Chain A
């Protein structure tokens, strides 16, 4: 099955669950920023949870399907239409557009297109296609690492993508909680270098809103708010970092590390956002605000298990 990128959108990439395990070679994990949404999209179309799908940001792509397909949209809700050409015309004015469902798998006929416009909520959406996107596997993953040009590149007009072998699973729908929430509280575990900051400054960090800057991408999300004040310079001996870590450069403004982060970092880190809340960070747009709430590794693991136990239960067959 072949798809054709008619219009690429603002930042559209192929992602799966990433390539963990290559940190000692300096390789980022990459993968879907909102991994719950990617996994749900795959289950809806009958794929393995970690199959490769398409991640889009702020404004989505227009994709033409040259063959019949089963697709599902998850993550934030976007303005999405199914385009069917009328009387075989390829001109846009002769196209019949109907709204596409969210969090529900549906069939497209050969020649139909999915036009994904602007977001109606958060930053990121996903479209999974039955069979999964079949781009070459690089270091165990089909994910695109934009900065290091690993596993492909940002999709552009005219790109053709193939899909893999399709299952014959029934159509399904999900009732996940809304991916996007305004002003979310992100739970974060203090450390490891919270000692290098003035104590009052760490208190302020955990009690103040931070705004997402426009200078944000899959590598890191720059936040603006009360600056963290350091006892000394922010440089530390470089050490391995995890996705979700909040590192503090010299200006005191936090950078929340995303999936395309470097493997090591040389700035002090005040705290790390827990895995169960990273999808909320992934859905934040420039101008949105966050606050941070202290938690512990034990609570973070419990929160992860709770979400793991819950999300599949919201998925049901509809045919």
Chain B
């Protein structure tokens, strides 16, 4: 283990403590989720929110409060060793008729049918939820399907759209502007403020897409 001469976290404002992790996205994200679980379980009274990102963990403090020594120690600790996925498993039925399916196939130099096979053949991990309530960033996309976001985002992406961009696949829980490439749609409800927890998918959960 390399010695560090400075902590791996930085301030984002006076309330945000942002820890970053090394390695590829899967490794860094797994470490961020492990620390998220640890800090959430620690019930630190000065912590208002704990938000995993792709390769980071944001700890947001209660206004006016300072981090306790125990919280700083937790943020500065070495990354947890990788663990096998412990989240819930979900199968999500998808109708692969997205508006961008043909274009994605063309830019990946495969047939649309092969896009469906590649996308539904992989197993994904929920890296984090962001952008809008319940929107999952799923990692594990076959590298053959890596496509850039649209240069100009759509004004309105329909709710339930299954989409890809870069190394992620995701699902739009609600109609919203968005720049990811649409390959299908699902009827699955991803976000319900009346449920506990409100988001169907949680960071660390495992997802497979099943062609409907």
Q: Which of B16, B50, B57, B133 contacts A272 (CB 8 A)?
A: B16
Q: Please, what's the 1-or-0 string for B192-205, where 1 marks a CB less than 8 Å from any CB in chain A?
A: 01000111001100
Q: Please, what's the 1-or-0 string for B37-71, where 1 marks a CB less than 8 Å from any CB in chain A?
A: 00000000000111111111110100110100000
User: Is B63 in contact with A263, judged by CB distance below 8 angstroms?
Assistant: no
| Bound: A20/B15 CA distance, A | 13
- A 240-292 contacts with B by CB, 8 A: 240-242, 244-245, 262-265, 269, 272-275
User: Is A262 in contact with B14, judged by CB distance below 8 angstroms?
Assistant: no
| Bound: A173/B162 CA distance, A | 54
- B96 lies within 8 A of chain A by Cβ: no
User: Is A25 in contact with B199, judged by CB distance below 8 angstroms?
Assistant: yes
The minimal Cβ–Cβ distance linking A16 to chain B, given in whole angstroms, is: 14
Known: A25-B198, A262-B130, A304-B64. A241 touches B48 (CB 8 A): no
- B 109-128 contacts with A by CB, 8 A: 128
- A199 lies within 8 A of chain B by Cβ: no
| Bound: A305/B132 CA distance, A | 32
Q: Chain A residue with minimal CB distance to B127?
A: A238
Q: Which of A151, A264, A272, A304 contacts B51 (CB 8 A)?
A: A264
Q: Which of A20, A150, A239 contacts B60 (CB 8 A)?
A: A20
User: Is A263 in contact with B11, judged by CB distance below 8 angstroms?
Assistant: no
| Bound: A265/B18 CA distance, A | 13
User: Is A275 in contact with B63, judged by CB distance below 8 angstroms?
Assistant: yes
User: Is A25 in contact with B197, judged by CB distance below 8 angstroms?
Assistant: yes
User: Is B66 in contact with A24, judged by CB distance below 8 angstroms?
Assistant: no
- A237 lies within 8 A of chain B by Cβ: yes
User: Is B128 in contact with A264, judged by CB distance below 8 angstroms?
Assistant: yes
User: Is A263 in contact with B51, judged by CB distance below 8 angstroms?
Assistant: yes
Q: Please, what's the 1-or-0 string for A34-73, where 1 marks a CB less than 8 Å from any CB in chain B?
A: 0000000000000000000000000000000000000000
The minimal Cβ–Cβ distance linking A222 to chain B, given in whole angstroms, is: 15
- A138 lies within 8 A of chain B by Cβ: yes
| Bound: A29/B58 CA distance, A | 14
User: Is B53 in contact with A237, judged by CB distance below 8 angstroms?
Assistant: yes
Known: A191-B12, A192-B12, A272-B12. A238 touches B130 (CB 8 A): yes
User: Is A189 in contact with B13, judged by CB distance below 8 angstroms?
Assistant: yes
Q: Chain A residue with minimal CB distance to B175?
A: A149
Pairs A–B under 8 Å by Cβ, sample size 27: A20-B48, A21-B48, A22-B49, A22-B198, A23-B49, A24-B52, A26-B129, A147-B132, A149-B174, A191-B12, A238-B131, A239-B55, A240-B52, A240-B56, A242-B15, A242-B16, A245-B12, A262-B130, A262-B131, A263-B51, A263-B130, A264-B128, A265-B130, A272-B11, A274-B13, A301-B64, A304-B63
A20-B60, A26-B134 are known; give 4 further A-B pairs, CB within 8 A.
Answer: A23-B49, A25-B191, A148-B132, A237-B53
Question: A-side interface residues toward B, CB under 8 Å?
Answer: 20-29, 138-139, 147-151, 189, 191-192, 237-242, 244-245, 262-265, 269, 272-275, 297, 300-301, 304-305, 308
Question: B-side interface residues toward A, CB under 8 Å?
Answer: 10-16, 18, 25, 36, 48-58, 60, 63-64, 66, 128-135, 137, 174, 176, 191, 193, 197-199, 202-203
